[in-house]
Amino acid sequence: MPNHTLSKLNRYRLLYVSAIIIFVLDQITKTWIFNNLPLDSYYPPESITVIEGFFYIVHIGNEGAAWGMFSGYGGLLALFALITLFAIYKLRHSLELHRKPMQWAFGLLIGGILGNMIDRLIHGHVIDFLDFHFPINIPWIMPTGRYPSFNIADCGIVIGTIIYLILSFKSESAKQAADEEHPQS
């Protein structure tokens, strides 16, 4: 491999490593779920109780996005995932992917997007399996105290997005502070 190519790969190493880790963990866990629990195994004895009344391993087929939104539009959601990945690639400079923390954030995001996209293409739905029940009711989020089931890819997407937002706000705050300290004449 030419030295220039290795240099480019090395420059985004953290992005690639975090994306691969999320993607591989996601696909390994979903493969296990697919092979060991019947689809729609929400209730015992098909589901696995980890902590009674709180945490269960289930096998749910989510045909939509978060919380089942856009259910039935799996092809469109897969296309949106491809467009998002392409946009991240094209905007990598303005997204500051040269910065290690941004690489970590976008690596988590990319690994999650790829994991769920592969599910849509192979199964026609996303395999969700982490199921939590909370002793509180929040009418607009969890009216029954049951949080929607999710997976490792979803964790990567949410955590990556949160890290990106925090880094963006910190970067914007630093720029504003610098502008106030050294105003342009």
Each residue's pLDDT tens digit, 109-148: 999 999 999 999 999 999 999 999 877 766 665 556 567 8
Which of the residues are catalytic?
A: 128, 154
28 φ, ψ (degrees, to nearest 5): -65, -45
Residue 167 · residue 101 · CB < 8 Å: yes
pTM, 2 dp: 0.82
pLDDT tens profile 26-78: 999 999 999 999 999 988 889 999 999 889 999 999 987 776 666 777 778 88
pLDDT of residue 177: 63
CA angle 154, 12, 121 (to 5 degrees): 35
pLDDT of residue 37: 97
Block residue for tokens 């910065």? 99
Domain extents in the chain: 13-175
Residue 48 · residue 41 · CB < 8 Å: no
Spatial separation of the C-alpha atoms in residues 1 and 98, rounded to whole Å: 22
Residue 57 · residue 37 · CB < 8 Å: yes
Block residue for tokens 């490792």? 152
